[in-house]
Structure 1
Amino acid sequence: MHETFMISAFEGWNDASQAASEVIHYLIGHYESKLVHEINSDGYYDYQATRPMLCHITGRARIIWPHTSFYEIAVSPDQRILVQIAPEPNYHWKDYCREVLHVAQDYDVTHVVTLGSMYAACPHTRPLPVDISNATCACELDREYSGPIGITTVLDQMACNDGMKTTSMWVSIPKYMNTDMCAQGTLELVHGLSTVLGVALDTTDLQSKADAWKMKATAITACDDRLSSYITRLEHEYDLAQRARTIASLGAPQAEQLVKEAEAFLKRMEP
């Protein structure tokens, strides 16, 4: 069955280091795209929290209000997708999501993919973790998580209730690199999107930016002994977790050996 995708990202709480929203900007700039719809800001935003911007265009001042934009993008000769980009609304989330889904239905969307990024304890020297979860009904959403949610979770659940497939995709960003845009996080999400869409998205431009981000992170951490030690610990924990996943199905002896290695490492780290 042919699927029509809508990819959604929101600036703000769901967008650590702008890794998620930059996926949409990258797709709009890299592929043939056209603006097809907008949702005005009135009623959805606190302008003291999400301020309008003053821009000068062709010599004239113009106020740009927070708004939601939808673009149609040709990611391959035979596949077009709808993408949505907006600041996370401050008010009336249910009404807002209903309006978004009305647009999606007008474009015969069958599968909604929401993108997010969050700060976490992960090293920049390893692939940044990406969590991809799929649901076909509202009861399947966030079965293991309890806590605050963003607009992406509300949109996922309401899309499920409307009979759409949903995929939630989140990338983890090193919390010690929380001052810069994270091209590596954007790259990881685009790789995930390639899998979901079944289309090999071009990442040539993103790869060079991700390499530059890694080089900067390495330079920053090299000047801080405490941070370097912290990253060494994160690397070891990451590698242990990877090994655990690899040998989980191999039986008890290998798992027991991994536990011993982990205990020995933690003892060495004790003050």
Structure 2
Amino acid sequence: MSEEAQMSNPVLIAAFEGWNDACQAATNVIRYLVGRYESREIRHISCDGYYDYQVARPMMCHAAGYANLIWPQTTFYDIALSPQYHLYAQIAPEPNYRWRQYCNESLAIAEELDVNQIITMGSMFSDCPHTRPLPLSISDSKCQCEGDREYNGPVGIPTVLDVAAADQGFAHASMWVSIPQYLGSDECAAGTIRLLHALGKHIGYTFDTGDLQSKAEQWKAQASVLVRCNDQLGDYVSHLEHEYDLKKKADEEASLGAPQAEQLVREAEDYLRQMGE
């Protein structure tokens, strides 16, 4: 058994650049954790056979007078949140080819590391306002959780990896944050924070969000300026706010359960009876 595998109940989080990563909110979770905590690269998956280099192009990097090509690849990190608590992370551009084989290779590494749960993360553009908490969709192998809705349609590699993990018997979870589509593709620290909080709640750990909070506030302030300068956009955001608030109220009422709902009905009936007297 490897040194890494000796940790108790290790978790692997995975995020992928591209279609599944609106405003880099999902992959920035891993970049932030790698930069904030003591981390080291422990595994890689070679790029050969998985990428179309006209889509995921290699990058030229000059250092110390030498030119180096950096090819797209998958990197696994061991992130030490504390001396006793480690987290594994997988980050890569979304592969272009052979997704089944790619997922099998990813899960083989997870098994080698004795991972007992795999958490995939993504971010997507959506019709939601920047003035409200960004919507989360979370599900796991035990329950359908906050904001989760049945989805039918195209999927990316996080979903394929999540399904493959389930098929191979891993505990698994999926976390997605929605990003306002009207704000373009600039990085969204608010979305990254939402995913970090969701991840922390899921694994029972409180992350230090550091300067992410100030970046999120700056993102929101810039969005508000943009909205104030465009009456049509302002009307659109007001419409989104109204829909968001209605949905939140409906969800809260639906979560009350039968006894509370019956009490609300009785209170409404008493009020109407008094109005008629």
User: Normalized against structure 2, the TM-score is what?
Assistant: 0.87
Alignment deviations for residues 82-139 of structure 1 (CA, whole Å, 9 cap, x no partner): 10000000000000011111111111001000000000010000000111100259xx
- Equivalent-residue separation in structure 1 for 2:78 and 2:175 (angstroms): 20
Task: Name 1:97's counterpart in structure 2.
Answer: 103
Q: Runs of 5+ in structure 2 lacking a partner?
A: 1-7, 266-277
Q: Contact 1:247 / 1:254 at 8 angstroms: preserved in 2?
A: no
CA 1:234–1:254: 2 relative to 1, 3 Å: farther
Task: Name 2:127's counterpart in structure 1.
Answer: 121
Matches within 5 A, 1:161-240: 161-240=167-246
Matched, 1:84 2:94: no
- Equivalent-residue separation in structure 2 for 1:103 and 1:246 (angstroms): 41
Q: Contact 1:136 / 1:164 at 8 angstroms: preserved in 2?
A: no
- Equivalent-residue separation in structure 1 for 2:137 and 2:185 (angstroms): 22
Matches within 5 A, 1:55-74: 55-74=61-80
Task: Work out the number of aligned pairs and report it.
Answer: 251
Q: Secondary structure at the match of 2:29?
A: helix
Q: Runs of 5+ in structure 1 lacking a partner?
A: 256-271
Matched, 1:251 2:261: yes
- Equivalent-residue separation in structure 2 for 1:254 and 1:47 (angstroms): 60
Q: Secondary structure at the match of 1:187?
A: helix
Alignment deviations for residues 211-244 of structure 1 (CA, whole Å, 9 cap, x no partner): 1110111111110000001111111111111111
Give 1:245 deviation, angstroms: 1.6
Q: Contact 1:35 / 1:69 at 8 angstroms: preserved in 2?
A: yes
- Equivalent-residue separation in structure 2 for 1:177 and 1:252 (angstroms): 42
What is the one-letter code of the residue matched to 1:231? V
Matched, 1:135 2:154: no
Give 1:247 deviation, angstroms: 2.0
Alignment deviations for residues 152-190 of structure 1 (CA, whole Å, 9 cap, x no partner): 111111111211100000000001012211110001000
Q: Secondary structure at the match of 2:178?
A: strand
- Equivalent-residue separation in structure 1 for 2:149 and 2:224 (angstroms): 36
Aligned with 2:151 (options 130, 136, 145)? 145
- Equivalent-residue separation in structure 2 for 1:252 and 1:196 (angstroms): 33
Task: Name 1:37's counterpart in structure 2.
Answer: 43
Q: Which protein is bigger by CA-based radius of gyration?
A: 2
Q: Contact 2:13 / 2:90 at 8 angstroms: preserved in 1?
A: yes
Q: Contact 1:136 / 1:160 at 8 angstroms: preserved in 2?
A: no
CA 1:53–1:46: 2 relative to 1, 3 Å: same
CA 1:254–1:226: 2 relative to 1, 3 Å: farther
- Equivalent-residue separation in structure 2 for 1:247 and 1:197 (angstroms): 28
- Equivalent-residue separation in structure 2 for 1:136 and 1:89 (angstroms): 28
- Equivalent-residue separation in structure 1 for 2:21 and 2:262 (angstroms): 40
Q: Contact 2:137 / 2:176 at 8 angstroms: preserved in 1?
A: yes
Alignment deviations for residues 42-91 of structure 1 (CA, whole Å, 9 cap, x no partner): 00000001111001122211000010000000112311011000000000
Percent identity over the alignment?
52
Give the alignment's Cα RMSD to 1 decimal: 1.8
CA 1:3–1:215: 2 relative to 1, 3 Å: same
- Equivalent-residue separation in structure 1 for 2:203 and 2:14 (angstroms): 14
What is the one-letter code of the residue matched to 2:213? Q
- Equivalent-residue separation in structure 2 for 1:222 and 1:216 (angstroms): 10
